[in-house]
């Protein structure tokens, strides 16, 4: 009996050590939620994913609105309350990544469909000005393209660009789609639009050069700095003078002196 317990203990320790070393440890939650990424999969996701609901709880942390730790607070400060929807985005990214490990086309498509559904949940739940919406729409479009739902994908990418003309990845994915569809003109047009807004973006520059683009794009000049001129000091007013009146300088009053030096009793002498 003792040897059996020792064997189980050694097996647990060895498995746990290898898991930590190679990042394959599964979540500690007893709930069998297949959407939750492993530690290795978490390394492929944005850093905030480990701090989102359900995912962090599955790894022994309590993260939820009104109850979260100091590591999560910076993300809440940046993303606001919409941060608490982002575990679905992390699920969607995980499913899209897992699709590449599936052997059959049907299994890959199932993963991409799950990815679209998870990401779409966040898009529908978040506020219209959520800062990550362009990224979310672009990720959703990438999975839609894998499913050959091209028209839906293009619409999502166009919405992403409309929301943020400087989000380069949306232009890159859209131009790649047009390039693969052998529509070089639209691919170049898309890249030119992106480079107009982000002329230093290397991913767009590379694609543009590969397609034979020749236009040069430079960042627009910064507006000149306006230096406010100091305000002229206004003279102080006294008494009951109105706001628009200027107070006169005080007049020095000479004391009355009767007569002159030769006749001090003369009242009207010069």
68 and 97 both lie in a single domain: yes
Question: Is 249 contained in some domain?
Answer: no
Question: Is 6 contained in some domain?
Answer: no
Last residue of a domain, one of 149, 173, 199: 149
Q: On the CB side of 101, how many CA atoms lie within 13 Å of its CA?
A: 6
144 and 199 both lie in a single domain: no
Q: What is the pLDDT of residues 20-77, one digit of tens each?
A: 333 334 555 445 689 999 999 999 999 999 999 999 999 888 888 888 889 999 999 9
Q: Tokens at residue 68, please?
A: 């979260």
**Whole-number Å distance between alpha carbons of 114 and 94:** 10
pLDDT at 62: 81
Dihedral angle computed from the Cα positions of residues 61, 63, 67 and 71, in that order, rounded to the nearest 10 degrees? 80
Please tell me which residue, 65 or 135, carries the higher pLDDT value.
135
Q: Which residues pair with 96 in a beta bridge?
A: none
What is the domain extent for residue 172? 165-216
92 and 184 both lie in a single domain: no
């Amino acid at each position: 009996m003792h040897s059996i317990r020792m064997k189980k203990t050694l097996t647990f320790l060895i498995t746990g050590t290898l898991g930590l070393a190679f990042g394959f440890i599964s979540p500690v939650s007893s709930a069998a939620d297949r959407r939750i990424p492993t530690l290795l999969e978490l390394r492929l996701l944005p850093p905030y994913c480990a701090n989102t609901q359900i995912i962090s709880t599955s790894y022994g942390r309590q993260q939820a609105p009104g109850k979260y730790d100091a590591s999560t607070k910076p993300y809440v400060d940046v993303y606001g309350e919409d941060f608490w929807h982002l575990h679905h985005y992390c699920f969607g990214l995980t499913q899209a990544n897992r699709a590449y490990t599936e052997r059959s086309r049907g299994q890959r498509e199932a993963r991409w469909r799950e990815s679209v559904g998870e990401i779409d949940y966040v898009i529908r739940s978040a506020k219209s000005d959520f800062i990550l919406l362009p990224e979310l729409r672009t990720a959703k479009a990438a999975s839609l393209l894998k499913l050959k739902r091209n028209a839906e994908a293009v619409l999502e990418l166009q919405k992403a660009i409309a929301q943020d003309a400087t989000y380069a990845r949306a232009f890159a994915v859209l131009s790649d789609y047009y390039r693969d569809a052998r529509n070089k003109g639209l691919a170049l047009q898309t890249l030119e639009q992106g480079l107009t807004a982000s002329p230093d973006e290397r991913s767009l520059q590379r694609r543009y050069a590969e397609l034979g683009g020749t236009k040069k794009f430079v960042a627009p000049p910064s507006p000149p700095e306006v230096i406010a001129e100091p305000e002229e000091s206004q003279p102080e007013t006294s008494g009951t003078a109105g706001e628009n009146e200027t107070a006169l300088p005080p007049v020095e009053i000479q004391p009355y002196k009767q007569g002159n030096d030769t006749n001090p009793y003369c009242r009207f002498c010069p």
